[in-house]
Structure 1
């Protein structure tokens, strides 16, 4: 079993309030959850209204599959989120038991 963990760093250039950030965050999280079998949540920058950091994780029997799944989710976020700009992302693979 392998665990894939990814942090996605987004910039919200047109955002002007925490309320608007929450709307964008909820939209991204809901769309990813409905399309992919991953765990996803906002993990940092909770009070910064122009930055959004999302944590994503998945479990797989194959390390390559977990890595591919996370890469696909990141591409999906980048391609479908109009209100946010992808700054960077980090992927870490945790060997399973």
Structure 2
């Protein structure tokens, strides 16, 4: 899954990186997914986060990614702008 987010009131790359690092660590620990910032690293107010989940059933992967997305939407420090899911 690829998620583009808008960080709103960040005024420096340092602020942005602090928020993005926190998001990534929280999701990694809570949902046991592979996750990284994959695009727009130098854009102060936007970023793209990519994540992957592996399971024996596509239903479990879809459910897990839905939980991740719901958790992100409730965070409050940013707004989810665009989501792309791909199931293999």
Q: Distance in 1 between matches of 2:84 and 2:66?
A: 10
* 1:53 is aligned to 2:48: yes
The two structures have a TM-score, normalised by structure 1, of: 0.87
- Following the alignment from structure 1 to structure 2, what is the Cα–Cα distance between the partners of residues 76 and 58? 15
> How many equivalent residue pairs?
88
TM-score in terms of structure 2 length: 0.95
Would you identify which runs of 4 or more consecutive aligned residues in structure 1 move more than 4 Å?
A: none
Q: Whose Rg is larger? A: 1
- Report the structure, 1 or 2, having the larger strand content: 1
- Of structures 1 and 2, the one scoring higher in RCO (CA 8 A, sep 6+) is 1
Unaligned runs of 5+ in 2: none
In structure 1, stretches of 5+ residues that fail to align are 1-5
- Aligned pairs for 1:1-97 (under 5 A) are 6-80=1-75, 82-94=76-88
Superposition RMSD in Å: 0.8
